Structure 1
């Protein structure tokens, strides 16, 4: 491994450089810089003594280095620093918070040019300046330096923060701007550690091509689900927490019941397909993503390797499905029109759509738990605990009707014990307990977790699954069936204390480094206190078309790349003369794993206005 390279900027009397140098490994190189020229420090005996010690130790010293233009101070081959320190930055004299924010913003943008890919930027700030909850007390946002928002302008996220300890660097004496005699008050100061964020990418929906019978069709993946298909979280080689929690759940239930693991069918369902759930009181398909297929006669060899691979992975078993046959028409044109009308598929909103296929199978084994696990996709309102894509595991148990009460109670008892055991493996604040709540029909249950403190969010109840007892089979008429559906993503969030569902879908490799095989420890986020931005939007409704609020949330998810975390209805206004109706909503933008800037949010908000006008037929005000 090459020696670590450290860069110090904004040094005053160079006492920090001397103190830090004493703690470093010999293989670590240190470059200390300041804005002043040598002549500016000539009359400072402390600075002169420290400079002499640094020279004797072989430390590189550079004068006249502007921390907002670091690329100009170093040749290309001299960059790639592993760590950059900036202690108590300040514009000097009575500069206000706006000027100091500007200094930070330019500094972070400059750091991006000279920092190694996995490097860190350390910024020490006086008590309250940063404007994060780590400050005690925390200043109002507008009165702080907004350090996380300024860092975002350079593509950085706050990954750690801790008290600034002078004891850790004995001999360090903080000085004021340009080595003025008056030093900063560092009691309660904090050291903020920033790392690079993954960049926002303009991900485009992929086009998939499938064959049904002798006919080829193509379709784009839903824009809101870009980056959420074919992720393989449940594959054998995966170490993702949803895989871990699924295996533990299955393993513990396997101690009480014989298991039969089934290969999960394709997540694509044809319109009118026979695999759709037939429970009389179930309306799960109303939340499905419906996709129209386009007839495609292009040469399959012209597709890119990536598209072909994606299609094969995602639609491995789709060839076994078929679209409903069209009624015979007299004219070929009419037949083609009918085929076009019916050539639709949907992404399954729940594994429950496969229940009938499982229990009608000739090899169905009464008394055994039949298990399906896979991703599902639902349109839903934006909230901290609702997600358009998640992983579900489904347990199906069939037993003789005469044993219904005993078998059902046994399954409920084991499930309750296993879930409670999983939820108490981490030492998190707040109590958690599982309870089964009757649905209005008096037969089925919701699996409810009571939790008082969940990360930074307080919740009273969280539904992590369902228990259905209303399935029947025309083949096994003497059997009763129980179907247990568990949302693995929500369960993993509770077990590890992951307060944001979007973190489960991040492409940042740092996420998986939190999870060691065989261990369950509280999750530590590498992105702390991300800034949030609030924008309002209002629009006139089209009198001739109904307004779908779920679709509005779905469009907002897609346009913002899942950065909208809240949509709050504010008001409804009806014009007294035209009687036209206007709605107003408040949108809150925030990321969990990326640097998000006010400029990016403004662009997203502008694009959202265009998209809702086109897709929802409303007129933005």
Structure 2
């Protein structure tokens, strides 16, 4: 435990821990110690050694009759904020069961955040097995534990560290209070759990974009579930985001064999249907985000409020309904024209060791599963090489050599090579666009998913961490660590929370739209959607669906209460947008 800053200790029995801590602190530590207990002074002094311990806490404050579940109501603590709030071996007293002790923890956490400073920590020491986390050995069954991380999540706290309770550093500490007696708890293998505040969830926002696409200025709404992916700047110059670090790592290593030139041009996020037809054959058309255009009302004379009218329906089929714009599912269409011109100059100059590249954000309207990314950063590299050197194999093997230490392997497919890794699957492709027996030069294209590669290179447990707004995430990459350095999770052991949702639909049902609404309503916390039941009513021309949704977050505190709130919001959105009847 850090000894600096202001420290509030609650639930003290004989004050021996507070005394030990007071003796360990230097005068330069600052902040002081405030030690509290639930009992009145006379009752507290009956504990063996309590009077002596209170004497030792000479530079601190001792308060009696302080209920740790009502700290905000304590007059002596009004207006104060502590850097550490410490609760050692909490217990309701006597033969209370796990449910009562869970409630004690929950009430304490909800109370302590009222006196916790920004950036402060909450320290809770528990006997081995009580916490219900994988750090306990042996681990109790979840229902038989105190579920300390879940109780803290109710107060928007995340578990950031767990380590052994260092009894040896507090030799004078006498643990008491077991079953309301002067009898100590079993502190062997006890664990200290450290909690910090979680950032609040960011609700989906309405974003209107204006871009110039093929000479025409257009306005459109960004789909709400994608609002948090826009304008993040992960690939900007000077960025230390792991996506940028992954790109820099790849380009640096590839530059050892070939010259690499990255374009600095920016391109619109929208593509026309014509551009899509050029070279997006590797992307499933059902994964496109067809865009609803907005059109200014030219007859409106009130310039203070521009009246924007929809020009077409969302999620349109371009062949059936005339939609012509889509959020780019790949950089290939934009790279094609730009890089083809440069390749012509390469051929004319006879250069065969130069790669041109571009990178940026792409979007896929995919179903929810743990490794399906609705938005990610793609790196596209193109070059012209002599056919005789078998350039597809050459580039594929080079990438495999670079990435094999991180679990990436090379797989042959018709027309090229795939780079794959477990458990996410495809992370890149290498293919030739004009291969043939009588072609002297071959145009090679490399497409890489930088987000999934960043997950592999830095051992991230979840791709959603890449989009975290928590400054503690980027802080780990400030010194530009080399790939392979272990990532320290923001939230340890996040809980899986599952809810079922059942509803009636009409004759038609588009599951893709259901996944879109789930992403928006849950703020991206649903990581798995599973169809568990389907029933078609023979008389009503209606079909009932039942889905099981699994909520989990590696970036925020996700309590059962918060997950249920997301689930209720989902029911409301489904009813209003997809016209289903919740069962």
- TM-score of the pair, normalised by structure 1: 0.83
Which residue in 1 is equivalent to 2:360? 374
Q: Distance in 1 between matches of 2:530 and 2:581?
A: 19
Deviation sequence 1:442-484 (CA, Å, 0-9, x none): 22221123x5xxxxxxx4x7321112223589xxx86422211
Separation in structure 2 between the aligned mates of residue 398 and residue 299 of structure 1, nearest angstrom: 55
Which among 502, 510, 519 is matched to residue 464 of structure 2?
502
Distance 2:244 2:303 in 1: 35
Match of 1:532 among 496, 508, 526: 496
* Equivalent runs, 1:456-471 vs 2, <5 Å: 459=423, 462-470=425-433
Give the match for residue 242 of structure 1. 243
Q: Hey, what does 1:174 align to over in structure 2? A: 175
1:104-152 CA-partner distances (Å, limit 9, x unpaired): 1111111111111101000011222211111122222222212112111
Matched, 1:567 2:529: yes
1:417 aligns with 2:379: no
Within 1, Cα distance between the matches of 2:400 and 2:178?
Answer: 62
Q: Equivalent residue for 1:383?
A: 369
Query: 1 CA distance for matches of 2:174 and 2:539?
Result: 71
Q: How many residue pairs were aligned?
A: 556
Deviations 1:68-96 (A, max 9, x none): 12122256775121101000111111222
Question: Superposition pairs for residues 200-279 of structure 1, below 5 Å?
Answer: 200-210=201-211, 217-263=218-264, 265-273=266-274, 275-279=275-279
Are positions 1:286 and 2:286 aligned together? yes
Between 463-472 and 387-396, the greater mean CA deviation after superposition: 463-472
Q: Which residue of 1 aligns with 2:13?
A: 12
Q: Hey, what's the Cα distance between the residues in 1 that align with 2:41 and 2:76?
A: 21
Aligned partner of 1:365 in structure 2 is 346
Distance 1:360 1:472, change over 3 A: farther
Q: Distance in 2 between matches of 1:177 and 1:136?
A: 21
Q: Distance in 2 between matches of 1:217 and 1:556?
A: 28
Task: Write the distance in 1 (CA, Å) between the matches of 2:434 and 2:289.
Answer: 24
Measure the CA separation in 2 of the matches of 1:179 and 1:610: 48
Q: Displacement of 1:49 after TM fit?
A: 1.5
Question: Match of 1:326?
Answer: none
What is the aligned partner in structure 1 of residue 383 from structure 2? 397
Contact 2:335–2:358 (Cα < 8 Å) also in 1: no
Q: 1:404, 1:354 → 2: CA distance? A: 28
- How has the CA–CA distance of structure 1 residues 407 and 471 changed in structure 2, closer, same or farther, with 3 Å as cutoff? closer
Does the residue aligned with 2:341 lie in a helix, a strand or coil?
coil
Deviations 1:199-248 (A, max 9, x none): 12334222234467998643222111121111010111210011011011
2:19 aligned counterpart, secondary structure: helix
Report SS of the residue matched to 1:276. helix
Alignment check: 8 A CA contact 1:267 1:376 kept: no
1:517 partnered with 2:503 = no
Distance 1:411 1:276 in 2: 26
Instruction: Note the C-alpha offset of 1:578.
Output: 4.5
Counterpart CA distance in 1 for 2:445 and 2:143 is 52
Following the alignment from structure 2 to structure 1, what is the Cα–Cα distance between the partners of residues 412 and 185?
61
Shift in CA distance, 194/387, structure 1 to aligned 2, threshold 3 Å: same
> Closer, same or farther in 2 for the Cα pair 1:75/1:32, shift >3 Å?
closer
Deviation larger for 502-511 or 30-39: 30-39
Show structure 1 runs of 5+ residues with no match.
Answer: 305-322, 324-337, 424-431, 452-458
How far does the alpha carbon of each residue in 1:413-458 deviate from its partner, in whole angstroms, 9 at most, with x for none?
A: 322222235x2xxxxxxxx3x332222xx22221123x5xxxxxxx
Answering whether residue 147 of structure 2 is matched by residue 146 of structure 1, we say yes
- Structure 2 residue aligned with 1:53: 56
- State the SS of the aligned residue for 1:121: strand
Whole-Å separation in 2 of the counterparts to 1:24 and 1:529: 32
In structure 2, distance between residues paired with 1:299 and 1:212: 27
Task: Give the equivalent residue in structure 2 for 1:112.
Answer: 113
CA distance in 1, matches of 2:213, 2:331: 23
Structure 2 partner of 1:594? 556
Give the CA deviation at 1:343.
6.8
Spell out, residue by residue over 1:313-334, the C-alpha distance to the aligned partner (whole angstroms, 9 max, x if none): xxxxxxxxxx9xxxxxxxxxxx
Greater mean alpha carbon deviation, residues 135-144 or residues 109-118: 135-144
2:214 & 2:24 partners in 1: Cα distance? 71
Q: Retained in 2: the 8 A contact 1:130–1:147?
A: yes
Q: Which runs of 4+ in 1 moved over 4 A?
A: 74-78, 210-217, 297-304, 341-344, 576-579
